[in-house]
Structure 1
Amino acid sequence: MKPAPFDYVAPTDLSDAVTALAERPETSRVLAGGQSLVLEMHYRRERPALLVDINNVRGLDAITVEGDALRVGALARHRAFETPSVAPGALGRLLSRVSPFIAHPPVRARGTMAGSLAWANPASEWCATAVALDAAIELTGPVGSRTVAGGDFFLGPFHTARQPDEILTSVRLPLLPGPGPGPGAEADAVGVGFCEQHRTHASFAQVAVVAVLTVRDSVITGARLGLAGAADRPVCAHEAERHLVGREAAPAVFARAAELTVAAAAPLPEPHAGVEYKRHAVGVLIRRALAQAREDREINGER
């Protein structure tokens, strides 16, 4: 099929883009990478009256370190995160582990992290990452800009806190601390892990897990676990996180964290992955991602 008729504008200034969207927000859509939106338009499941293309808006493709966070503009493509140098330390390593799991190279060359968050597919790797890191999501509308925490942004399948007249303009991801600079310095170090179960290399995740561990002298001092495919939206495994803190980074501890996560999981069934299958996958991937984070910390956190 082909898209239904629609109007199209491609402003070069953010204020013009916001103004265009505000004229008829309920029937307009924002186009960045378009890897999900355009397909839905072809199937006519999406029928926008107006498409606001922000690809010509200056400055929205920037990725910069600002203070203690990495600021990712709305037009930063998936492929920008394929190398660890995109961000200092553990955050760069985490982003470079996640990005290869997103579809295939042509999609990564065009699709955007911000667009993935705005689309809010419950299986999205970036959505699980945003929740795990409690990213700050910037929304710009006619009355100005506001910021929503990653944990509050996702409201359900393809449903977010973004209002129809707002554009998701940037995402701020906190930089993950590394080891201290020398003897006697702070000994905490961060390890990161990411694991995913999918049918084919380019398929959406059935279940995905983002793990971030802060460890001092083999004892976990901080833990973040973000999950895709374990509920109707990306979620954090808070009970498992609380269990991990104060305990040794050991397989038995990881196994108990996995049990707690499985008990709280409420995955949605899909044609090739029923509820029980996905719950089992959650437990397996939690253990693997935590083991990966421990290994990452040992390799990169010790000097």
Structure 2
Amino acid sequence: MIPAPFDYIRPASVEDACRVLADAETAGDEVKVLAGGQSLLPLLRLRLAYPSALVDLGRLPELRGVADRGDHVYIGALTTHDEVMRSGVVREHVPLVALATATVADPAVRHRGTFGGSMAHADPAGDLPAVALALDCVFVVRSSDGEREIPAAEFFVDYLEPALEPGEVLLGVRVPKLGSGWGFHYEKFHRTAQAWATVGVAAAVRRGDGGTIEEARIGLTNMGPTPVRARVTEVALRGVAPSPSGSNGSDPLRDACAQADAGTSPPADLHARPDYRRHLARVLTRRAVGAALG
């Protein structure tokens, strides 16, 4: 397929990009921001998107890089998936991000696709939005009016719809450091390495001194029009021992994870029905929590 005609704009700075986007909004034009292009270009080729112009941010160095900023790790929007997963800072302080990023598509996509582009695409089948939700990340955006911060819980509005206002550019993502005592894992079921997740589970679990679970954060991929938190399971896991403790052979950990699909609205498509996705969410949550506990 051949994309519909569009103008190509390559701004020299973030401020220039914000101005171009603001002018397009004033003129009533539909403009798309191009980062790595791994999600956008297929939409253009299939003519599922008809922008009048593409604004290419790919050569703005201020949007790249990973930095340790004390209580959080800052990841620039144009940092590639490969750079994220290989970053020593990411692996040491926010390992769940590295684990999930390593499952994104294939090496070719990871070398071109960007961390911020994946987030701003806001596809609920993408691996990273669920991780951002589980870790309570903060998105830093800029427009001609200045910068603002958007919590992950407010960033994913609907299917392919982030909370970016017209004229705003995603600068980067702040990933909080959770500190010691936490275990992490990302469990994903998909048909092939290149395919979107049928269901994915991002798990962060903290044990107390007695060995029981004190806190859990569970983000679900492809279980609704946006990534979702498995809140019922998070509450049910508190105080649970990581191994069966019931005299009748019951498994409190399994029982807590069996509620992972509560409150979700999984889609139906060629790859899975909603009931199958609910089953996967329960099974994969049990696996992810178990792996996070070590």
Task: Decide: shared fold, TM above 0.5.
Answer: yes
CA contact (8 A) 1:70 1:173 kept: yes
Residue 53 (structure 1) aligned with residue 47 (structure 2): no
Q: CA deviation at 1:246?
A: 2.5
Partner SS, residue 291 of structure 1 = helix
Higher mean C-alpha deviation, range 246-255 or range 261-270? 246-255
Residue 211 (structure 1) aligned with residue 214 (structure 2): no
Q: Among 190, 201, 210, which residue is 2:193 paired with?
A: 201
Matches within 5 A, 1:10-25: 10-25=10-25
Q: Distance in 2 between matches of 1:67 and 1:170?
A: 16
Q: Residues 156-187 of structure 1, C-alpha deviation per residue, up to 9 Å, x if partnerless?
A: 11012111211111100011202xxxxxxxxx
Partner SS, residue 48 of structure 2 = coil
Aligned residues, how many?
Answer: 284
CA contact (8 A) 2:68 2:89 kept: no
One-letter amino acid of the counterpart of residue 202, structure 1: Q
CA contact (8 A) 2:134 2:229 kept: yes
Instruction: Name structure 2 gaps, 5 residues minimum.
Output: 245-250
One-letter amino acid of the counterpart of residue 12, structure 1: A
Q: Among 65, 74, 83, which residue is 2:86 paired with?
A: 83
One-letter amino acid of the counterpart of residue 253, structure 2: F
Q: Among 85, 108, 113, which residue is 1:111 paired with?
A: 113
- 1:226 is matched with 219
Q: CA deviation at 1:9?
A: 1.3
- 1:256 is matched with 255
Q: Distance in 2 between matches of 1:84 and 1:283?
A: 31
Q: Distance in 2 between matches of 1:294 and 1:90?
A: 17
CA contact (8 A) 1:214 1:220 kept: yes
CA contact (8 A) 2:73 2:93 kept: no
Q: CA deviation at 1:84?
A: 6.3
Q: Taking structure 1 as reference, are residues 74 and 249 closer, same or farther at Cα in structure 2, changes over 3 Å only?
A: same
Q: CA deviation at 1:87?
A: 2.1
Q: Taking structure 1 as reference, are residues 88 and 195 closer, same or farther at Cα in structure 2, changes over 3 Å only?
A: closer
Matches within 5 A, 1:236-275: 236-250=229-243, 252-275=251-274
Q: Distance in 1 between matches of 2:120 and 2:221?
A: 15
- The percent identity for this pair of structures is 35
Partner SS, residue 171 of structure 1 = strand
Q: Distance in 2 between matches of 1:115 and 1:45?
A: 18
CA contact (8 A) 2:156 2:162 kept: yes
TM-score (normalizing by structure 2): 0.93
Q: CA deviation at 1:51?
A: 0.9
Q: Distance in 2 between matches of 1:67 and 1:82?
A: 20
Instruction: Name structure 1 gaps, 5 residues minimum.
Output: 179-188, 296-303
